[in-house]
């Protein structure tokens, strides 16, 4: 009987005590890749290095595609290019970019198919002391 009383007494005393708790929230670092564009004036096409896509106008809309419009990647990469200094959509900057870098733009000092041998810094023919 003592066992039964003890059993009833112990079963009634079972309880749950929650102690103080704390949690530490660690947020994952947020990495935002900024677009970095290279502009190809001859084709009015931008290449995003981070996205590995080409951005250009198709009619009145801007599109992003894995290949440039109407030209192979090899040909595009051999044409003059300019690294852009903006990190958002080319559509936001295109009117100013086109003015600064028209389709026939070449980098300063680029050999534009002309033979510059024999020219001095002023673009005049080099002559010896005898005027030849």
Decide if pLDDT at 21 tops 90.
no
d(CA 68, CA 53): 8
Decide if pLDDT at 129 tops 60.
no
Decide if pLDDT at 59 tops 80.
yes
Which region holds residue 99: left if phi is over 0, alpha if psi is between -120 and 50, else beta?
A: alpha
pLDDT at 123: 38
Instruction: Kindly state the percentage of the chain with pLDDT values over 90.
Output: 49
Mean per-residue pLDDT of the chain: 75
Give the pLDDT confidence of 70-93 residue by residue, as tens digits.
Answer: 999 999 999 999 999 998 999 999
pLDDT at 104: 94
Give the pLDDT confidence of 30-57 residue by residue, as tens digits.
Answer: 555 566 899 999 999 999 999 999 999 9
d(CA 93, CA 86): 8
Decide if pLDDT at 127 tops 50.
no
- pTM, whole model, 2 decimals? 0.59
């Amino acid at each position: 009987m003592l066992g039964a009383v003890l059993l009833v007494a112990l079963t009634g005393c079972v309880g749950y005590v929650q102690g103080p708790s704390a949690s530490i929230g660690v947020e994952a670092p947020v990495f935002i890749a900024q677009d970095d564009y290279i502009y190809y004036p001859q084709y009015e096409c931008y290449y995003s290095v981070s996205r590995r896509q080409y951005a250009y106008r198709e009619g009145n809309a801007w599109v992003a595609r894995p290949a440039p419009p109407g030209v192979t990647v090899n040909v595009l990469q051999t044409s003059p290019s300019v690294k852009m200094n903006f990190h958002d959509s080319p559509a936001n900057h295109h009117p100013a970019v086109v003015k600064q870098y028209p389709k026939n733009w070449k980098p300063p000092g680029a050999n534009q198919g002309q033979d510059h041998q024999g020219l001095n810094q002023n673009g005049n023919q080099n002559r010896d002391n005898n005027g030849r």
